[in-house]
Amino acid sequence: MAENPEQDTPFSEWLRSRSEPDWTAVVTHPFAERIRLGTADMRRYLEQDFQFVDAFTALLGAAVAAADTFEARVAVGRFLGQTVADTEHGYFQRALAALGADAASAAPEPVTAEFRALMDEVRRGQDYPLILAVLCVAEWTYLGWATQGATTAEGFVHREWVELHSGPDFEAWVGFLRGELDRLGPGLGDDGRARVLDVFRRATALERRFFDMALG
């Protein structure tokens, strides 16, 4: 069983602190730094990341269905429609074309397949806190590395990827995900918190491995 988080420690922060050293390795990863600097080789990375779009979209849809409040459903649905289906998907199309990449024919790397499998696992389970755990890791770690320092990237492929994962709107989205975990955590019980922690740690480890793969 997972230990009880301290009463004055938000559940999301408790999860993050117990996902070290992988968490820090993600937000300070050399490949992430290269993205901010505009020097990362983005082709393989984006070909693989694009393979998450469908599974991630389905996971957001599952969050809408599994959420326990109307307000949460609206927040997730708004992000899904405005950011993922519109802004982010459009970025992928432009960036992959600029790189001469063919994501449709790119075979998934082992870590890509494992991460998609985790997304599908929690989606099928329809357990809202577990869905939140995967979403929160995916978004919070990206906010973490994207805000480690100002981007000096000049080309849109690097610059816009950083901008998609920083700024007030994205910070508010991550704040919402963390807030939902903080709201639900105290009522989960030891077994429930242990399940969320397990998924949170698995997702964090996969994020680290994904960046390791991109670094080559």
Cis peptide before 21 (omega within 30 of 0): yes
Length of the chain: 216
CB atoms within 10 A of CB 107: 9
Q: Are 158 and 151 contacting, i.e. CB atoms less than 8 angstroms apart?
A: yes
Domain chopping of the chain, boundaries = 19-215
- Predicted TM-score of the model (pTM): 0.94
19-215 has CATH 3.30.70.270 classification: no
Q: What is the pLDDT of residue 19?
A: 98
> In the chain, which residue ranges form alpha helices assigned H by DSSP?
11-17, 22-27, 30-37, 42-50, 53-66, 70-79, 89-98, 110-125, 128-146, 156-164, 167-184, 189-215
10-residue averages of pLDDT along the chain (216 residues)? 67 98 98 96 95 94 97 95 79 94 88 98 98 98 95 93 95 98 96 98 98 94
For residues 143 and 179, what is the distance between their CA atoms, to the nearest angstrom?
Answer: 15
